[in-house]
Amino acid sequence: MANKPIVDFEAIKNNLSNVSKPIQVLNENAEITDQEIFDTFSDDDLVEFMKKMVWERALHEQTMNFSRQGRMGFYAPTEGEEASEMGTVLAMKKQDYLLPAYRDVPQLIQHGATVTEAYLWSRGHVVGNKFKARSMMPQIIIGAAYVEAAGVGLGIKKNKEEDTIAFTYTGDGGTSQGDSYEGMNFAGAYQAPVLFIVQNNGFAISTPRVKQTAAPTLAQKAVAAGIPSVQVDGMDILACYAVAKAARDYMVAGNGPVMIETLTYRFGAHSSAGDDPKRYRTKEQEQPWFEKDPLIRLRKVLEDKGLWSEEQEDKLVDEYKASFKEAIKEADNVAPDKVSDMLKRTFEIPTPEMKQEIDKFEAKESK
């Protein structure tokens, strides 16, 4: 009898790590690693990318200040993820349907919501859900936006909407949720035009990526659903934009869904609720990522071209933060949501029991 096993499982397992390097156009030293793709961007494009990242960084800083003042509800910090978020959303078109998660408020605003609406959403106010952007409100349930996106993508296909896709986000932890696979599997089976974006920032709150899954990459998880996938340097806005645009072009041509894993990093806490990253991350782990700051690398390129200056950036930050202060004032002036109104919105026709509750709260609110 032969000693050779019919299957070499160890070889198969080892082969899982044979994956391509993440796609990159500009490395952490601001060196161009793909000249051909870099040359597709004009100077105006590069400046606009920088403005958008500065805008998101300023939004994060000012919103965290509002949160510390007790003027916000739930808020998920985004510092460090500007290239991943701005790069992907800017590659989309306004007719595309966004299915955001809770860390994707900057993308929601860029897609058409106002900052005031975003702040009201954070507070749980119904007006925060009435934005004009073609989007659902940010999903709080981890991974659930993938299921929503699959349904929206199928609707786009059945309605024969041209030049339109659905795009959605989750974090690395989201790929450990059943909803994420179910959404991808559904979209793959029906060849729905859905772009699944995984923002791999290294931690699912405090659980490090290496303890979440044995998969060498999160992009590989799409293979089981028959979906082409790729890793991209999530600290490089040029790469994020170029890959997201290529994915969109591929999907609107009728080729089904795509998954992109962006390798990025959350510089601060998971949320404004107060988790302490120092309890699960060391300075030695963090420092290499701080050195990959997406603003630093693009800033250097622009400064070398004579297209950017510290004074220019400081002026923009001041303007952006002033606009956010106006937005929070607008949110403060919106009348608080009433309990009776929330009950009225629960069912189109209130049940007899709920009608009693509505009457009871209306009586209290009229005093």
Q: What is the full per-residue pLDDT of the chain (367 aa) written as tens digits?
A: 557 788 888 898 888 888 889 999 999 999 999 999 999 999 999 999 999 999 999 999 999 999 999 999 989 999 999 999 999 999 999 999 999 999 999 999 999 999 999 999 999 999 999 999 999 999 999 999 999 999 999 999 999 999 999 999 999 999 999 999 999 999 999 999 999 999 999 999 999 999 999 999 999 999 999 999 999 999 999 999 999 999 999 999 999 999 999 999 999 989 887 788 889 999 999 999 999 999 999 999 999 999 999 999 999 999 999 999 999 999 999 999 999 999 999 999 999 999 999 999 999 998 8
Q: Is 284 inside any structural domain?
A: yes
Res 9: pLDDT: 85
Same domain? For 346 and 251 the reply is: no
Q: Is 324 helix (H, G, I), strand (E, B) or coil?
A: helix
Residue 99 sits in a domain whose CATH number is 3.40.50.970
Q: Is 285 inside any structural domain?
A: yes
Residues, the chain, total?
A: 367
Same domain? For 360 and 266 the reply is: no
Res 1: pLDDT: 53
- Phi, psi angle pair for 120, to nearest 5°: -70, -35
| Spatial CA neighbour of 79 closest among 315, 353, 296, 339 | 296
Q: Dihedral (C-alpha) 184, 145, 200, 85: value to the nearest 10 degrees?
A: 120
Q: Is 80 inside any structural domain?
A: yes
- 23 burial via Cβ count (<10 Å: 0-12, 13-18, 19+): buried
Q: Is 2 inside any structural domain?
A: no
| Spatial CA neighbour of 242 closest among 28, 94, 32 | 32
Residue showing tokens 């806005």: 237
Q: Is 299 a catalytic residue?
A: no
Q: Is 3 inside any structural domain?
A: no
Total of domains in the chain: 2
Same domain? For 252 and 355 the reply is: no
CA distance linking residue 74 with residue 90, whole number of Å: 25
Which one is catalytic: 57, 248, 270, 299? 270
Same domain? For 248 and 203 the reply is: yes
Same domain? For 345 and 276 the reply is: no
Q: Is 4 inside any structural domain?
A: no
Same domain? For 214 and 250 the reply is: yes
Same domain? For 229 and 179 the reply is: yes
Q: How does pLDDT run across 320-362, given as a tens digit for each residue?
A: 999 999 999 999 999 999 999 999 999 999 999 999 999 999 9
CA distance linking residue 252 with residue 248, whole number of Å: 6
CA distance linking residue 251 with residue 194, whole number of Å: 8
Partner residues linked to 230 by β-bridges: 260
Q: CA gyration radius for the chain? A: 22
- 239 burial via Cβ count (<10 Å: 0-12, 13-18, 19+): buried
Same domain? For 169 and 276 the reply is: yes
Same domain? For 292 and 361 the reply is: no
Provide the domain limits for residue 352: 338-366
Res 273: pLDDT: 79
Res 313: pLDDT: 98
Q: Is 270 a catalytic residue?
A: yes
Q: Dihedral (C-alpha) 45, 47, 50, 56: value to the nearest 10 degrees?
A: -80
Res 3: pLDDT: 76
Res 12: pLDDT: 87
Same domain? For 260 and 362 the reply is: no
Query: What's the distance, Cα to Cα, between the start and end of the chain in Å?
Result: 90
CA distance linking residue 229 with residue 62, whole number of Å: 35
Check the CA dihedral 226-231-235-237 and report its sign: negative
| Spatial CA neighbour of 262 closest among 124, 137, 91, 130 | 91
Partner residues linked to 195 by β-bridges: 167, 258
Same domain? For 98 and 203 the reply is: yes
Res 5: pLDDT: 85
Q: Is 32 helix (H, G, I), strand (E, B) or coil?
A: strand
Tokens for 221?
């998880």
Which one is catalytic: 266, 297, 299, 320? 266
Same domain? For 127 and 168 the reply is: yes
Pairing of strands 194-200, 203-204: unpaired
Pairing of strands 97-99, 203-204: unpaired
Q: Is 227 inside any structural domain?
A: yes
Q: Is 162 inside any structural domain?
A: yes
Find out whether 194 and 259 touch, Cβ atoms under 8 Å.
no
